[in-house]
Chains A and B, each alone.
Chain A
Amino acid sequence: MKRWLISQSVDHPKRTIILSIIVTLIFASGFRFFKMEDDMLKLLPEDLESRITWDAVQEEFGNTNLMFVAFGNRGHSVFDPEVLSDLYTVSHELEGLVEVDEIISIATLNRIDSEEGFMEVSDLQPPGDLTREEADDIRRYLMENPEMMKRVVGDHGDYLNVVVRPVVNVASDKFRNNVVEVTQRILGAYDIHYGGEIYLTGTMPMLMREDVLKLMKLGLALMVLIMLLSMRSVPAVAMVLAVILMSMLAMMGFMGWMLRLTGNDIFYFTLLNTSMPIILLTIANSDGVHVMIKFFGKLRISGDVKESVFATMNSLMLPIFLTSLTTVVAFLSLAFAPIRQMLGYGITIGAGIVWAWLLSTTFLPAMMMKKKWNPASRAITKPSLLEIVTGKFGYLVIRHPKKVLLGGLVILGVGIWGLFLLRVEVNIITFFRPGTEIRDSLEFMDLEMTGTMDLELRLEGDLKSPQNLQKIVNIQAFLETHPAVNTSISIADVIKQMHRTVMDDDPAFDTIPDSREKVNNLFTLYSMSADPDDFSSLIDYDYKTGLVTTLMRNISTSDIVKFVNEIKSYLAENIDDHMSVTITGMLVIFNDLVHLLVRSSLMSIFLSIVLIAIIAAVSFKRMTWGLLAVIPLSGAVIMNFGLMGVFGIHLSHITAILSSIIIGVGVDFAIHYISQFKNMARHGIGKNELSQQVVREVGYPIVLDAASNMSFGVLLFSVFIPVMHIGGLMVFAMVSTSIGTLTLLAAVIEIFNGKLSNGR
């Protein structure tokens, strides 16, 4: 099989090239079925416990994932007929969007007036143009109802708040885009700010993809530059680049074909897939670089192209196959991830890796055969600077293996210590750098409006019972003692307001009535005066399930967890069996999700390491090689998470999943090293020179591979912090696994050189 594959490239290069291009184009033609999905909420596992509660809340009360739009002009009162008229227009136009369930603003709220035994429920803001007196009357009413005012007007009275409640199961990106379009069209004369979890989740994927694409082009250019400087041959770099681009085209097309053939939404290109092209790029680059460097080395010795290509492929066929196989296995382990889309990710990138392997072992050597190389060129005859430096570095390592091993173990110890410092952060606001427009907007909403975070408490019990309603009042009072909470809303607020109204607007009756009959009378009174459907986001049809919505400013995930625990303690002490309370909200779900992701990522990494060890042990026919093959990878995993802890990089749902993926890329170097070691030992190189020769042979391609892939460190310049983390992790994975191979693995092998080389 090996010889047949090599002979296809060596003996029939033209046919191999044409065939490779045709098959790539067939794969790539699936690109027309390729579909993007920017709705991040679809990524949340449906069987997550907090998600189940959240879904139940949505089913009962409508979507609780709110978007906030604040507009106004600094220093100008919003109680101006013209401003209120614009508010009326924008509120009612937003209400007309199919993605919108409800608008909460001055223009949609009801007022309840009481005078001399007369009760009237009417629009807070009458339709049509307002007079100055009407605008003043609205202001007066809100001043008398400060809790209501807090929800719809900013602290300084110069910004209005429009709360937009989406319909259930809305696509967050479409919802966000339509709301932004309407508000920007109508409110062009005002300063506008947006906030809310759904706004961020609807905004981020598109912006992040654009950002990654821009930086990826820069990274690719940098990669080409590094390769050119090191290989000093344009055709050689072009050939590697051709393998990379063809692999990418085939992979994206494959994703389209899979979607077309299976119809499964795991093959949608989501936010998580953003990292996929970068990862394939590094893998395809790795295969190409190793082939090309080995070829130059062989050509330097023999001077014969055909012989050199044959020798190169004969030497690299197994390691490239093994590195591809182990990487595919690592990615397929994503099938165990709690996010279903990760299986689609694993399958798609697996297909890309297989195609990159096939192209590197057929198309690339065929191209090398077709090129008329000049054996006297500097690129072939003279080692590059990087090659010389790597050789010297390898020599030092081999001379002092125990010291190197000890140093490595100390660094590993730091990594293990860092593991205990690792913190989780799922608040999406932290995904944006301070000073960016979105971050500024969110901070404005926090400072001057009700904030942009929400936490929900689902209540079950007899909600017409005054005792239970009083408990809700107490819960809200407790929630509002937290410095981050601006206000909370529940049916108890409405009952208190109606009670006061019925009792001739006497503030002493701004309380829960003392009998169930009175509570019921109030509901009936409202139903005769207005639409009881007004309460649908607060209480269910049977008055047995209610919702407390807490509006708060942004706080960190660890503070949220602390707050949730405080609420739980309060509930345990103060709520009896007559009512049950469940805490939910998007932040609680994300927090649960991250813990689930970390557990599944660790399991996935552990499984990958075991499988890779088995594959290496079987391929190299010895258990010891299997164990040695995973040394750099295991060290890199520990160092990755450990250094994240040391440098304060938080684990989020994005970084948790990407960490395991990027580490999967780093398995290749150890396999190349071991394969070369065994190969040289088999060819009778003495044990005194063996390690040095191996480092000299594979050290340079490993370092060049890592260095060129590190060009994706440009992602560190992204405005999105998770993208910065991808860049940082990419650099880190390359450094840790390449250095780990050339230090830890090389030192261990050198220490046990005698036994290992004898046992060939």
Chain B
Amino acid sequence: MKIHPFLKYVDLTIISVILAATSPAFGQTGYDVAKSVDERPEPADMKTDLTMILTNSKGQTRTSTLRLINVDGGKKQMLWFLSPADDKGVSFLKIEHDDQDDELRLWLPAFKKVRRISSNKKSEAFMGSDLSYEDMTNRELNENDYELLKEDEVVLNIPCFVIQTVPKPIAESEYSRHVTWIAMDGRYPVNEESYDHAGKLLKSKTFIFKKQNDYWIPTEIYVENIQKTHNTRLNFKNIHIDTGVDDDLFQEKNLKRLPIE
């Protein structure tokens, strides 16, 4: 299973199961809808500044701002912490490989060291957020079963398909199933509920997309872990796409310097 870069995640979003198509929906199956989402056009590269707000059950918050750059549909991704001051300078590089483990490297400026990291726990929270590594991973079309539950259900004023995705054992998912509302027009996710193996609702996710240069790009994602009563809000600003990001950027040495805006 590939781990998508954060920007890819942003681009394709958590459930990026599922990327777009344009054909009308009539007579479609759940699989057809999922496939159309998977095939939704995406930009070659993307730069954006991201604000991440974590809120715990007592209403306490942690806010971080990060700069993200990715290419190749998110297979290569870099991320720099801009704030809070304690984190400034920490940066993260991720390169996905099809035939070997993904590379995850972290620059720790206070130690002046790069450390390779690994998480073999797909369900672990990423950076203390409510997003797990699995949430940030493309759902392989063939590792899930799909069922179209409803058509033309309006959510947030957007007509949606409602599909149920049930991961097959090969997916080794932390979830037992997802119910996803897919915009009929843009084939991007609007809402999703994810259930744990006990059948209890674990996470609820809401997405806001906007159209930019013919692409549907997310501008806000809200994820709530129902069981932990903890939530994460991601806001995307200064989104630039197809700017011709050089592939050579994605090297360990570049982690040490923050790219100019």
Contact = CB atoms under 8 A, between A and B. Distances in A.
Contact of B114 (A117, A516, A541): A117
Contact of A502 (B62, B108, B127): B108
Given A122-B121, A533-B125, A541-B60, A520 B110 contact: yes
Interface string B85-109: 0110010100000000000101011
B107 to A, nearest CB: 9
Nearest to B105: A117
A290 B113 CA distance: 90
B117 interface: yes
Contacts of A119: 115-118
B117 A528 contact: yes
B124 interface: yes
Interface in B33-74: 56, 58, 60, 62
Nearest to A126: B120
A541 B56 contact: yes
A531 interface: yes
A527 B58 CA distance: 20
Contacts of B109: 517, 521
Given A464-B86, A518-B110, A541-B60, A120 B118 contact: yes
A118 B118 contact: yes
A530 B121 contact: yes
Interface in A380-417: none
Contacts of B119: 120-121, 528-530
Contacts of A521: 90, 108-111
A524 interface: yes
Contact of A542 (B60, B111, B120, B125): B60
B108 A525 contact: yes
A528 B121 contact: no
Contacts of A524: 81, 87, 90, 106, 108, 127
A506 interface: no
Given A528-B92, A531-B125, A532-B125, A517 B86 contact: yes
Given A120-B120, A524-B87, A527-B127, A541 B110 contact: no
Contacts, number: 88
B128 A532 contact: yes
Contacts of A515: 110
Nearest to B124: A531
B87 A525 contact: no
A463 to B, nearest CB: 12
Contacts of A117: 113-116
Contacts of B60: 541-542
Contacts of A525: 106, 108, 115, 117
Contacts of A147: none
A366 to B, nearest CB: 64
Contacts of B118: 118-122, 529
A516 B110 CA distance: 9
Interface in A529-581: 529-533, 541-542
A123 B116 CA distance: 18
Q: How large is the interface on A (under 10, 10 to 19, 20 to 34, 35 or more residues)?
A: 20 to 34
A520 B86 contact: yes
A118 B128 CA distance: 21
A525 B106 CA distance: 7
A533 B115 CA distance: 21
Interface in A109-148: 117-123
A522 to B, nearest CB: 8
Nearest to A520: B86
A528 B113 contact: no
Given A521-B109, A529-B119, A541 B127 contact: no
Given A118-B118, A120-B120, A517-B86, A528 B127 contact: yes
Given A464-B86, A531-B125, A541-B60, A518 B120 contact: no
Nearest to A60: B58
A524 B121 CA distance: 17
Interface in B208-244: 228
A288 B150 CA distance: 79
Interface in A508-524: 513, 515-518, 520-521, 524
B124 A518 contact: no
Contacts of B125: 527, 531-533
Given A118-B115, A119-B115, A541-B62, A520 B87 contact: yes
A530 B120 CA distance: 9
Contacts of B117: 118-121, 525, 528-529
A513 B109 CA distance: 14
Report which residue of A516, A520, A521 has the largest number of chain B beta carbons within 10 angstroms of its beta carbon: A521
A464 B117 CA distance: 22
Nearest to B86: A520
Interface string B117-150: 1111100111110000000000000000000000
Interface in A294-325: none
Given A464-B86, A533-B125, A518 B116 contact: no
Interface string A617-658: 000000000000000000000000000000000000000000
A604 B86 CA distance: 57
Nearest to A464: B86
Nearest to B81: A524
A528 B106 contact: yes
A530 B104 CA distance: 13
Nearest to A123: B121
A468 to B, nearest CB: 15
B52 to A, nearest CB: 11
Q: Which 9 A-B pairs have the closest CB atoms?
A: A517-B110, A520-B86, A518-B110, A521-B108, A532-B128, A118-B116, A120-B118, A541-B60, A521-B110
7 contacts: A117-B113, A118-B116, A123-B121, A502-B113, A513-B110, A520-B87, A530-B119
Interface of A: 117-123, 464, 502-503, 513, 515-518, 520-521, 524-525, 527-533, 541-542
Given A118-B118, A520-B87, A531-B128, 4 more contacts: A464-B86, A529-B119, A529-B124, A541-B60
